[in-house]
Structure 1
Amino acid sequence: MKALITVDMLNDFYSGVLNNELHASKIVPVIARLIDHARANPDWLLVYSNDAHRADDAEIAIWGPHAMAGTRGADVIDALKPIGAPREIVSPKRFYGAFDETGLHEILQGYGVTDVVIVGQHTHCCVRHSSYGAFIRGYGIEIPTDGVCVFDGVDNAAAIDYLRTIYGATITDSETLIGAAAATKAA
């Protein structure tokens, strides 16, 4: 089983206090297709890994208040929001990585997940830390290049190369992922 982990596609990272709409808007349609694919396939789990901060979280000292738990800024953008579908998990996080003190590993184990597809923001930070969490727990990692982005001034290609080189991530694209899954299902 695979898990699609959608990282930090939140209002505060899209058009809010840490606005990255210029880059994030390019990946929204890709992530939407992958989410639809995950919802339609019983061998996929859908995970929303979302910042949900408290005032005393370490990140607040670095980035300022953002994605504060219970605020609109911490909600997934409307175009990708959870709908409460079966095999859909909302996993709040207080650190960069999807696996850091969230219980996500245990949830994935319960579903028999062996591989994760990680999409969202930001390739060099939260996607990277989420990939590290997956790596040390033994998951296969796939990163669709058309489903991740960075802030202005950060080299997305270098961040993707890091994931490939250091964590052994398979670098792919959404069309290949969806096509490969369809071929496996038909076989």
Structure 2
Amino acid sequence: MKALIVIDMLNDFVTGVLNNEADAAKIIPPIKRLIQHARADPDWLVVYSNDAHRSDDREISVWGRHAMAGTYGAAVVDELAPVGAEREIVSPKRFYGAFDGTDLEEVFRKYGVSEVILTGQHTHCCVRHTAYGAFVRDYKIRVPADAVCVFPGVDGDAALDYLKMVYGAEITTTSAVMLPNS
């Protein structure tokens, strides 16, 4: 079983308080294709790993108020929003990594997940921490370079190189991930 993890494609990170609209807009179409592919394949899960902060979360002291649980800013952008499909999981998080303080590992165990495909924002932060979580749990990690982005001013290639070098992530493309038997 494969898990497509869509990380922080939230209103606050696309057009809101920590907006990255120019780069985030470029990755919405490839992520949308991957979501459609995963929903159609019974061997895939779609996981939305979304910041859903409380006012006392440590991250708020670093980044300010953003993606506060239950707000518009913490909702997935309309183009990628969950639809309640079978094998679709919404996993709120209060830290950078998708596994930190969540039950995602237990969910993956239940479904027999052996591989994760990481997409979304930001390659050098939340994607990186999610890759670490996947690495220490022994999941195969693939990152389609056309479906992730960084903050403005950050070297996206260096962020991808780090994932490859440190976590053994396969840096690939959306098209390659969707190939049969890939």
- The verdict on a shared fold, with TM-score over 0.5 as the criterion, is yes
Residue 125 of structure 1 is matched in structure 2 by 125
Q: Give the drift of 1:68.
A: 0.0
| Counterparts of residues 1-187 of structure 1 (less than 5 Å) | 1-179=1-179, 182=180, 184=181
Residue type matched to 1:4 in 2? Answer: L
Q: Give the drift of 1:69.
A: 0.2
Equivalences, count: 182
For 2:70 and 2:165, the matched residues in 1 are separated by 37
Coordinate RMSD, CA, aligned = 0.8
Q: Give the drift of 1:154.
A: 0.2
Local SS of the residue matching 1:175: helix
Over 6 Å off, 4+ runs: none
User: Structure 1: any 5+ residue segments left out of the alignment?
Assistant: none
Identical counterparts, % of pairs: 65
Which string of whole-angstrom CA distances, capped at 9 and with x for unpartnered residues, describes residues 21-62 of structure 1? 000000000000000000000000000000000000000000
Name the TM-score, length of structure 1 as normaliser.
0.96
For 2:109 and 2:143, the matched residues in 1 are separated by 20
For 1:156 and 1:12, the matched residues in 2 are separated by 20
Name the TM-score, length of structure 2 as normaliser.
0.99
For 1:66 and 1:176, the matched residues in 2 are separated by 34
Q: Give the drift of 1:18.
A: 0.2
